[in-house]
Chains A and B, each alone.
Chain A
């Protein structure tokens, strides 16, 4: 497939936004359970929510560049019964409004206890909104990933690993960003977020490597024989019916050499997994306020390369019909 940067930015930006929101709510939940004892924690929620909202908004904006008719984008919410893309279009704004409400509730301090569940869990407005937001964040991960995983013809994507990877990459980059944000605001949650970011990153490393191995060994169902219905071992295309290319030759081929893709693969493995984890560990040891920010920036750059590779890696069966220009 041809990697479209609009979609690459959409998926990476909203992934980080979702992960950041999950990180904020996780820290709130930990504080509620008295597992975190930082009095400054509450200072993080409002600016954190704003940052998450900005990321989600930027992702949404990027997605419009993918459309031929952005002015008709509202129509894309109508087919939620059958289309995962339509479901994403509904869940993304719903999630964004929850993030906004979460930030507003914390900014204005509307966190008075509404009621107490079994004398232990004081429930306030932010907890209700946060729980709804968490559900929507995971729903959005599913919708985004299912857009790709539901196309059975793209066998590289048609696997539960796509869902797992999208979710883990989002969580990893979001917690990494939460660590960077708390380092920048000088809040003592860098180690907490950093530790979770490292755990999510290492889990993502495991599942991504599994998917890389899976895709390397993949056996494609379609062949030129089934594409034409001609039973012969030697079939060569002498012309695809035109000379100057078409939508089919532009949209479904990445146009890069195998060696270039290999470089991108090793680049993203280094930038998404190795360097950020090392930077977080070093920053933990030397108590650096800047390294978590660098770790997030590097990981995000790596995720863009990862998403590029994700698209380029998928070989569409229609390519069987477009093998020779003449």
Chain B
């Protein structure tokens, strides 16, 4: 079985919103479009997006950091939004695990959005149907494209390669290796939805220098200038 998914590296994401705009651009002009905005040049611009980048402040000053958090449908392996749909418009594809909405069947009752704990579904106010990330299904399954372009628009757009795309059921795929080796985790695991998308946590690279590593054993005076305060990097010491 194949389960396509994204792996989003929070350690790398810089919050540039390139994935948001490229997602909107690709999908508004494709199979899932149009994604019409309401009063886009007015006071309260709003509209349907499949992908958002949010920003959080972790900690309190001065020990704090900013985390940019891209948020799109997680394509759960046990999607709670699918069984509640009264029309069968919401479905999970058997061949690749992508959760999709059939816009011709959706009656716009919004029940599926209630049944998603992550708030990943948005009702299109213009078309009056429920919309959500399709993993660019029309792009990744387009065999006329070269293999390298058969990826979601957000993945191709990301300038820092914070987004990986692949089959999380294949143990040797890039995404599985990243999840396994870099501490990939799921959102809200308490609900048992088994999201296919994973996030890689923030990782700090710390310099581990012990005193004896800085003091040469063969130095007769045992006096060497150590880097004074903390916050020094290897470059400060090496050059």
List residues of chain A with CB under 8 Å of any chain B CB. Answer: 1, 66-70, 72-73, 75-79, 82-86, 89, 147, 150-154, 221-222, 226-230, 232, 234-248, 251-252, 316-319, 321-322
CB of B86 within 8 A of CB of A240, answer no
Residues of chain A lying within 8 A (CB to CB) of residue B106: 68-69, 72
Residues of chain B lying within 8 A (CB to CB) of residue A66: 109-110
Using known A-B contacts A227-B188, A228-B67, A251-B123, determine if residue A79 contacts B88 with beta carbons closer than 8 Å: yes
Using known A-B contacts A67-B109, A79-B88, determine if residue A247 contacts B122 with beta carbons closer than 8 Å: yes
| A78 nearest in chain B by CB position | B88
Residue from the list A73, A86, A222, A246 in contact with B117, Cβ < 8 A: A222
Stretch at the interface among B41-49, B140-148, B152-160, B209-217: B41-49
CB of B53 within 8 A of CB of A241, answer yes
The complex places the Cα of A228 from the Cα of B89 at a distance, in Å, of: 29
| B171-218 contacts to A (CB < 8 Å) | 185-191, 199, 201-202
Residues of chain B lying within 8 A (CB to CB) of residue A69: 106-108, 128-129
3 closest pairs, A vs B, by CB?
Answer: A68-B108, A318-B119, A68-B128
| A157 nearest in chain B by CB position | B114
A-B contacts, 14 of them at CB < 8 A, read A68-B108, A85-B86, A147-B111, A151-B80, A221-B191, A229-B186, A230-B58, A236-B56, A243-B45, A246-B47, A246-B49, A246-B122, A251-B123, A321-B54
CB of B191 within 8 A of CB of A152, answer yes
Residue from the list A68, A234, A245, A248 in contact with B107, Cβ < 8 A: A68
CB of A226 within 8 A of CB of B190, answer yes
Whether B161 sits at the interface, judged by CB under 8 Å, is no
A246-B52, A247-B121 given; 9 more Cβ-contact pairs under 8 Å = A69-B107, A75-B105, A85-B111, A153-B115, A154-B114, A228-B67, A246-B49, A251-B110, A318-B117
CB of A78 within 8 A of CB of B52, answer no
Residue from the list B67, B84, B189 in contact with A82, Cβ < 8 A: B84
CB of B114 within 8 A of CB of A83, answer no
Residue from the list B43, B117, B129, B191 in contact with A68, Cβ < 8 A: B129
Residues of chain A lying within 8 A (CB to CB) of residue B190: 221-222, 226
CB of A83 within 8 A of CB of B83, answer yes
> Which of A68, A226, A239, A317 has the most CB atoms of chain B within a 10 A radius of its CB?
A68
Using known A-B contacts A154-B114, A235-B57, determine if residue A245 contacts B44 with beta carbons closer than 8 Å: yes
Nearest Cβ distance between residue B17 and chain A, in whole angstroms? 8
Residues of chain A lying within 8 A (CB to CB) of residue B191: 152-153, 221-222, 317
Whether B118 sits at the interface, judged by CB under 8 Å, is yes
Residues of chain A lying within 8 A (CB to CB) of residue B18: none
Using known A-B contacts A222-B190, A317-B117, determine if residue A239 contacts B55 with beta carbons closer than 8 Å: yes
Using known A-B contacts A82-B83, A147-B111, A248-B122, determine if residue A238 contacts B117 with beta carbons closer than 8 Å: no
CB of B119 within 8 A of CB of A76, answer no
> Which of B57, B69, B119, B189 has the most CB atoms of chain A within a 10 A radius of its CB?
B119
Residues of chain A lying within 8 A (CB to CB) of residue B85: 79, 83
Residues of chain A lying within 8 A (CB to CB) of residue B109: 66-68, 76, 85
CB of A241 within 8 A of CB of B187, answer no
Nearest Cβ distance between residue B229 and chain A, in whole angstroms? 25
List residues of chain B with CB under 8 Å of any chain A CB. Answer: 17, 20, 39, 43-49, 52-60, 64, 66-67, 69, 71, 80, 83-89, 105-111, 113-119, 121-123, 125, 127-129, 185-191, 199, 201-202
Residues of chain A lying within 8 A (CB to CB) of residue B87: 72, 75-76, 78-79, 86
| A243 nearest in chain B by CB position | B45
The complex places the Cα of A66 from the Cα of B114 at a distance, in Å, of: 14
The complex places the Cα of A195 from the Cα of B71 at a distance, in Å, of: 55
CB of B188 within 8 A of CB of A317, answer yes
Residue from the list A67, A75, A238 in contact with B55, Cβ < 8 A: A238
Residues of chain A lying within 8 A (CB to CB) of residue B88: 75, 78-79
The complex places the Cα of A77 from the Cα of B52 at a distance, in Å, of: 34
CB of B199 within 8 A of CB of A229, answer yes
Residues of chain B lying within 8 A (CB to CB) of residue A228: 56, 67, 69, 187
Nearest Cβ distance between residue A137 and chain B, in whole angstroms? 21
The complex places the Cα of A254 from the Cα of B103 at a distance, in Å, of: 28
CB of A235 within 8 A of CB of B119, answer no
Residues of chain B lying within 8 A (CB to CB) of residue A68: 106-110, 123, 127-129
The complex places the Cα of A43 from the Cα of B71 at a distance, in Å, of: 62
The complex places the Cα of A301 from the Cα of B186 at a distance, in Å, of: 45
| A245 nearest in chain B by CB position | B46
Nearest Cβ distance between residue B43 and chain A, in whole angstroms? 7
Residue from the list B20, B46, B54, B199 in contact with A244, Cβ < 8 A: B46
Residues of chain B lying within 8 A (CB to CB) of residue A230: 56, 58, 67, 201-202
The complex places the Cα of A319 from the Cα of B87 at a distance, in Å, of: 26
